[in-house]
Structure 1
Amino acid sequence: MASCCSSNLQMSAFGVMQVYYVQTFLSHSSVSAISWIGSIQTLLDLTLGAFLGPFLDRGYLRHVVIGGSTLFVIWYPEKYYQVLLSQGIGMGLGIGSIFLPTSVLISQHFKRRKALAMGIVPAGGSLGAVVFSIALNYLFNGSLGFGWSIRVTAFVCLSLLLVGNLLLFDPHSARDDPTAQDVQAKPAYTNGASSEGANEKDLDASAEPAEHDKDTSPPLLDSKYVCILVQGFLTGLGLWFPSSYVQLFAEQKGVDQQLSFYSIAILNVANALGRILPNWLGDRWGALEVYVPCLVLNSGLQFALLGCSTSYGLVLFTIFYGFFSGAAVSLYLPAVASISAEDVSIGKRMGIALFPVGIAGLIGTPIGGALIGHGYVWWKGIVFAAVSRRLSEPGRSCRY
């Protein structure tokens, strides 16, 4: 959990950095250009795992995590292209190299209530981002300065990643047990038959492939799976707009600065709860049955940002949107698993399912930033994100 938590701190608190970049450090760059930094992180976080899967299968899980941890803490930006390369691409590669291995370990350690476990661990990232977003606001606006603020946070992440790497271990499986392998290797004796006779029968049986072994595996793509891929893409277009822009929106609308500092922290607290409670319900009632209503409520709440120009409105929005956006993220892969046949390659389906979400996350916030523009025409960006989410609802994009 420490590795997953530390890797998601910067990404979950990117909205704070977005405000600082827009107003101070990268004020010469457009809002849309700055958004590419966070969106590239999101893309790599969600899609890199598909390429790292073969390394994990060969037993290089710890090597991948250590490499990702090293990339994550190397960051020294001065200009826009340096920030894009180090924070966007470098840290994105680090986050992506940590996310999949920790998710794989969760699925290996837990046989029951797996959806709940898959929600609790990333919830640590949201809780860590609560502290991180508050700390970044005070560090950036204090006497320490941007450079040393980044160094301080890098040391914090380094210590957490060190602890996380030390705590990682692979669960022992039956195939790794030499006793189990010996048992499986022993010949069977049936009705007094000799081992030689049994082996001859086995060879004869293996020489003639059975008809039921030919092309019986279900197809990788089916109508329900394609529907959830379309839904994942449309959801990703607008999902990260509020977390990237809510603090900047609050400051532009004249909300109390102290409260606007805490807006992302409140959103992340609710997000952490939204990753746990709905997943617990998903284990009891079914992941898809809980995922769909959470998705509908979350997409409807996105329109509410238009009216959050007061302190009360901002707090209510961050609480409810944070909760249901957490559910929309944490229940996505369990929902993919729930519509998959037992003998299908579930790992491959999950890896493919993250691609449309990652591509949408790459382009969604920059498009929203371009619509806002230098004049901060907020309704354009909000409507784009909300309509994209609305179209992702089952029954509009397609039915499961």
Structure 2
Amino acid sequence: DFYVREYLTAYSSSEIGWIGSIQVMLIMSMGLFTGRAFDAGYFHHLVLGGTILHGFAFFMLSLSHQDQYYQVFLTHGLLGGVGCGVMYIPSLGIPSHYFHRKRALTMGIVSAGASAGAVIHPIMLNRLFHGSFGFHNGVRASAGMNLGLLLLANVLMKPRLPPKKAASIHVKAFIRDIPYVFVVFSGFLCMTAMFIPIFFLQLKVVKGGMNRTFAFYSVTNHAWQISIMNGASVVGRLIPGFFVQRFGVINLMIVNTFGIIALMFCFMVVKTVAGVVCFAIFFGLFSGSVVTLMPPLLASLARDFNEIGARMGLCFTLMGNWLLFLTFAVSYTTCAGFGGLVGELAN
């Protein structure tokens, strides 16, 4: 939203949207390589390399000039995406080395930490950008804080299990694993359903006549939630872990999937501030649960601990590319002037 309204005003929102879309795609798609590298024992290499690249990307972003699209795209979109992507799967995979029976709960706590940070960080950036710091110094302050926290994470995290040779893990075997294929396909469907509210709730709020301050505190700009939705997502990512042992990860995933389906119908009819707040809370709860249940669901299909990273990496790579396709499809539909579902949802 800041890029659209203030920093890259010479470009359309669909063009600017590619920055975040490419970043999210790279974060997830790097898993195809980092998952196997994690299983092969290169955890510290990946996390330290990602830390350095992430810090470099955003310090370079602070040197970018207004309305220079390629500078923001290269630093925020490409370098930032690769830096985060190198760390993503290894950070998710580490809890599975230490926990088996309570794997879903520990992975939920890990992902809830990311969601909790995303409640505070965007608000901090908003205050920095529109205060005495401005955009460039605000990005530098954020990059410095993130770099310090990531270096601390490098010290605190370490794998427990000995590495396994990457050659012994056959990704082709995953494709012939029918339960795994169905889980990946269900991930595609969940992401498709979650895509519209995450990307278009802010537009719906603004077009519905609600003020922009409320819009900011209700939704995300890309992929992951800000404020109300993200605050609810913290709770949503924690709750499933307490019930997995009793009901099973697959059954909980089914319940949350139907919850998202019901909310999609609600999304088409909400017209008031109260309605949007309720929608954001419940959508954050259900979407957060889906996000936190996917890694343990994939891990439960692994034959041993040493292929967890590869299974998660392949799934997230396919889902990341699917997200990029969805972005292209929605951008094309919007630019071509088609009303359709997207137009109806945003009204």
Amino acid at match of 1:332: M
* Contact 1:298–1:324, Cα closer than 8 Å, also in 2: yes
* Contact 1:298–1:321, Cα closer than 8 Å, also in 2: yes
1:66-105 alignment runs, 5 A limit: 66-73=48-55, 74-75=57-58, 76=61, 77-78=64-65, 79-105=68-94
2:318 equivalent in structure 1: 356
2:31 equivalent in structure 1: 49
The alignment status of 1:283 with 2:245, answered yes or no, reads yes
1:185 equivalent in structure 2: none
The whole-number CA distance in structure 1 between the counterparts of 2:341 and 2:130 is: 28
The alignment status of 1:300 with 2:262, answered yes or no, reads yes
Instruction: Note closer, same or farther for the CA distance 1:350–1:55 as it changes in structure 2 (3 Å cut).
Output: closer
The aligned length equals: 323
Alpha-carbon deviation of 1:374?
9.8
The whole-number CA distance in structure 2 between the counterparts of 1:30 and 1:338 is: 43
Alpha-carbon deviation of 1:347?
4.2
Gaps of 5+ in 2: 164-172, 219-225
Quick one: which of 233, 253, 262 aligns to 2:217?
262
Amino acid at match of 2:209: G
Alpha-carbon deviation of 1:369?
3.9
Instruction: Note closer, same or farther for the CA distance 1:40–1:261 as it changes in structure 2 (3 Å cut).
Output: same
Alpha-carbon deviation of 1:368?
2.8
1:326 equivalent in structure 2: 288
* Contact 2:230–2:284, Cα closer than 8 Å, also in 1: yes
Quick one: which of 183, 201, 208 aligns to 1:228?
183
1:108 equivalent in structure 2: 97
Alpha-carbon deviation of 1:250?
2.0
* Contact 2:107–2:295, Cα closer than 8 Å, also in 1: no
* Superposition TM-score, scaled by structure 2 size: 0.83
* Contact 1:31–1:373, Cα closer than 8 Å, also in 2: no
* Superposition TM-score, scaled by structure 1 size: 0.72
2:327 equivalent in structure 1: 365
2:150 equivalent in structure 1: 161
* Contact 2:90–2:309, Cα closer than 8 Å, also in 1: no
The whole-number CA distance in structure 1 between the counterparts of 2:84 and 2:238 is: 21
The alignment status of 1:152 with 2:138, answered yes or no, reads no
* Contact 1:270–1:320, Cα closer than 8 Å, also in 2: yes
* Contact 1:236–1:364, Cα closer than 8 Å, also in 2: no
Instruction: Note closer, same or farther for the CA distance 1:72–1:20 as it changes in structure 2 (3 Å cut).
Output: same
Name which of structure 1's ranges 276-285 and 53-62 shifts more when overlaid on structure 2: 53-62
* Contact 2:43–2:158, Cα closer than 8 Å, also in 1: no
1:250 equivalent in structure 2: 205
Instruction: Note closer, same or farther for the CA distance 1:286–1:307 as it changes in structure 2 (3 Å cut).
Output: same
Instruction: Note closer, same or farther for the CA distance 1:376–1:160 as it changes in structure 2 (3 Å cut).
Output: farther
**If you compute each CA radius of gyration, which structure gives the higher value, 1 or 2?**
1
Instruction: Note closer, same or farther for the CA distance 1:100–1:344 as it changes in structure 2 (3 Å cut).
Output: closer
Q: Secondary structure at the match of 1:41?
A: helix
The whole-number CA distance in structure 2 between the counterparts of 1:54 and 1:149 is: 36
Amino acid at match of 2:269: G
The whole-number CA distance in structure 1 between the counterparts of 2:22 and 2:133 is: 28
The whole-number CA distance in structure 1 between the counterparts of 2:339 and 2:129 is: 26
* Contact 2:38–2:309, Cα closer than 8 Å, also in 1: no
Identity of aligned residues (%): 36
Alpha-carbon deviation of 1:266?
0.8
1:339-350 alignment runs, 5 A limit: 345-350=307-312
Alpha-carbon deviation of 1:67?
0.9
The whole-number CA distance in structure 1 between the counterparts of 2:253 and 2:340 is: 29
The whole-number CA distance in structure 2 between the counterparts of 1:293 and 1:30 is: 38
* Contact 2:97–2:305, Cα closer than 8 Å, also in 1: no
Instruction: Note closer, same or farther for the CA distance 1:220–1:362 as it changes in structure 2 (3 Å cut).
Output: closer
* Contact 2:89–2:309, Cα closer than 8 Å, also in 1: no
Alpha-carbon deviation of 1:144?
3.1
2:114 equivalent in structure 1: 125
Instruction: Note closer, same or farther for the CA distance 1:383–1:39 as it changes in structure 2 (3 Å cut).
Output: same
What are the Cα deviations for residues 59-110 of structure 1, in whole angstroms up to 9, with x where unaligned? 3311211110111122223321221211111111111111111122111121
* Contact 1:115–1:331, Cα closer than 8 Å, also in 2: yes
* Contact 1:46–1:354, Cα closer than 8 Å, also in 2: yes
The alignment status of 1:64 with 2:46, answered yes or no, reads yes
Alpha-carbon deviation of 1:239?
2.3
Root-mean-square deviation over aligned CA pairs: 2.9
The whole-number CA distance in structure 2 between the counterparts of 1:313 and 1:116 is: 31
2:223 equivalent in structure 1: none
Alpha-carbon deviation of 1:169?
2.5
The whole-number CA distance in structure 1 between the counterparts of 2:308 and 2:143 is: 36
Amino acid at match of 1:67: G
